[in-house]
């Protein structure tokens, strides 16, 4: 229960940050920061896939409702939550069996950044494919995915560096 409330707190904080602040930033008309991915990236390793997907769907839908993009963020976030454990497994050595929350403290910097980069890229690709799928604009899609991934990654790294120093 305490775990749930704690997670709900982050849910609300990240949803607010995303919808009220970052959702309005479209750098160069392409790049948007998807800070709420932090919520999905920071899910415990052994959280069940269903649990992760439910949270991700709820968060994505919330962002959608505020951003007038019904279904798009929800679909991308759900897919990311589904795939996340596979991606995370690539960066955790076989010997480690404990439950953990991915961060630079338990993974090496390189591993964590790679993990975050693959997750963000996957998410951005699904998101922009859905968003632009009525338009056939491959260049636009490429620019949006690339710039948004890089910008989001930058924010995730900044967050991680602050979070790492604080403890």
User: Which range in 57-65, 87-95, 112-120, 149-157 contacts other proteins by CB under 8 A?
Assistant: 57-65
Alpha carbons 122 and 115: distance in angstroms, whole number: 11
Based on the shown chain and the rule CB under 8 A, indicate whether residue 67 belongs to the binding site for other proteins.
yes
Helix (H) or strand (E) holding 16: helix 2-16
For residue 115, CA distances in Å to 3, 62, 92, 104, 154 come to: 24, 25, 10, 11, 13
Give CA–CA dist 80/102, Å, rounded: 15
In 33-149, the DSSP E strands lie at none
Size of the site for other proteins (CB under 8 A): 25
- Are 145 and 124 spatial neighbours (Cβ–Cβ below 8 Å)? yes
Are 21 and 64 in contact by the 8 Å Cβ rule? The answer is no
Cβ distance to other proteins smaller for residue 20 or 27: 20
Give the three-state DSSP class for 27.
strand
Span of 31-39, 55-63, 140-148, 153-161 interacting with other proteins by CB under 8 A: 55-63
Using rule CB under 8 A, residue 78 touches other proteins: yes
Exactly one of 25, 27, 54, 154 binds other proteins (CB under 8 A); that residue is 54
Nearest residue (CB) to other proteins, 127 versus 151: 127
Rounded distance, CA 48 to CA 70, Å?
26
For residue 1, the Cα-to-chain-centroid distance in whole angstroms is 24
Which one among 130, 132, 143, 157 touches other proteins, defined by CB under 8 A?
130
CB of 60 to other proteins, least distance (A): 7
- Per-residue contact string for residues 79-98; x = within reach of other proteins by CB under 8 A: x--x----------------
Binding site for other proteins (CB under 8 A): 19-20, 48-50, 53-54, 57, 60-61, 64-68, 70-72, 74-75, 78-79, 82, 130, 134
């Amino acid at each position: 229960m305490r775990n749930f409330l704690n997670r709900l707190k982050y849910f609300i904080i990240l949803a607010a940050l995303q919808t009220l602040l970052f959702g309005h930033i479209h750098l160069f008309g392409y790049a948007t920061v998807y800070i709420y991915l932090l919520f999905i990236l920071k899910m415990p390793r052994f959280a069940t896939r269903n649990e992760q997907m439910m949270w991700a769907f709820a968060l994505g839908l919330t962002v959608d409702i505020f951003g007038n993009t019904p279904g798009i963020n929800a679909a991308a976030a759900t897919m990311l939550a589904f795939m996340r454990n596979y991606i995370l497994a690539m960066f955790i050595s076989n010997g480690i069996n404990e439950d953990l929350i991915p961060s630079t403290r338990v993974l090496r910097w390189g591993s964590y950044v790679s993990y975050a980069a693959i997750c963000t890229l996957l998410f951005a690709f699904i998101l922009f494919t859905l968003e632009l799928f009525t338009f056939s604009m491959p260049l636009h899609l490429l620019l949006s995915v690339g710039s948004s991934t890089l910008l989001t990654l930058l924010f995730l790294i900044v967050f991680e560096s602050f979070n790492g120093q604080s403890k």
